[in-house]
Amino acid sequence: MKTESRSKILKIINQGAGARPIELVRSLGISAQAIHRHLKALMSAGVLESRGRGPLTRYFIAGAAEVGKARRWYSSTGAPIESPSEFLCGTRDVFSARLGRLSSLPRAGLKEQDLPLVLSVIGEVGNNSFDHNLGKWRDDPGCWLETQITGGRLWICLADRGQGVLRSLSRVDPALQDEHAALTAAFERTLSGRAPEKRGNGLKFVRRIVTGSGGRGLACRSGAALVAYGELGGICREELARFSSQAGGTATLIAWDLK
């Protein structure tokens, strides 16, 4: 029974944006005391970690990125239910300002020499959202930018509700027939720009940074296509596999080991 209850707890936490004890009580129909015993045991085993304090404490899979809000925003087929202003950069100016604030990341454990690389990667991916989607947003314009540190890693999630990579790149390479070919080309091929747009060649630079050293990884989804690069790319891919394959736009998750 203990194993079954704990498996159910982990399933609920893994499928959602973490979970509070009261939510687990309601979902599983067992007492609060039993839930707290299970949570304590899972914490002791290093399977779960808690974030927040008091009644607002939520439990998450230890070391995993928490991208539930980004996933719901990106994956919604109608107008998104939530567009938290702390994550959504509606204009390039807002994105640039928030990118500048990340210069404090070394205080959170990022190596000083890695800061320019991290900022370059975020800037390139985020600017693509604006460069390739002006006037072509599904609804919310702009770029989602969320960072978090857990499990000794920096996690960076960027997403947009734009037209997707295939529709963007097929204008300069009509031979691209599907989303996987387009997304792979974006990261691995040099594409000729056609005025007034220069298409995606900065993503090759992003891939080189991510694969240039261990302890880094990236995954990107656009429609049904999903690619991953770097030592930690598989972990990122697992998270993005839970994002909708039907939604337009692009989502990128980056993992970067700290000191």
Q: How confident is the model at residue 1 (pLDDT cuts 50, 70, 90)?
A: low
- Mean pLDDT (the chain) is 89
Distance, in Å, from the CA atom of 110 to the CA atom of 130, rounded to the nearest integer, reads: 27
Do 179 and 246 share a structural domain? yes
- The domain containing residue 46 runs over which residues? 2-61
- Contacts of residue 65, defined as CB under 8 A and 6 or more positions apart, other chains included, come to 148, 150, 155, 157, 236, 239, 253, 255
Do 188 and 146 share a structural domain? yes
User: Highest mean pLDDT: which of 13-27, 54-68, 203-217?
Assistant: 203-217
Which is nearest to 105 in space by CA: 119, 92, 95?
119
Tens of pLDDT along 97-155? 999 999 999 999 999 999 999 999 999 999 999 998 988 898 889 999 999 998 889 99
**pLDDT greater than 50 at residue 194:** no
Mean pLDDT of the region 160-170? 92
Do 120 and 168 share a structural domain? yes
Do 223 and 119 share a structural domain? yes
Tens of pLDDT along 47-63? 888 877 888 898 888 77
Do 24 and 117 share a structural domain? no
Regarding pTM above 0.85, the answer is no
Q: How confident is the model at residue 66 (pLDDT cuts 50, 70, 90)?
A: confident
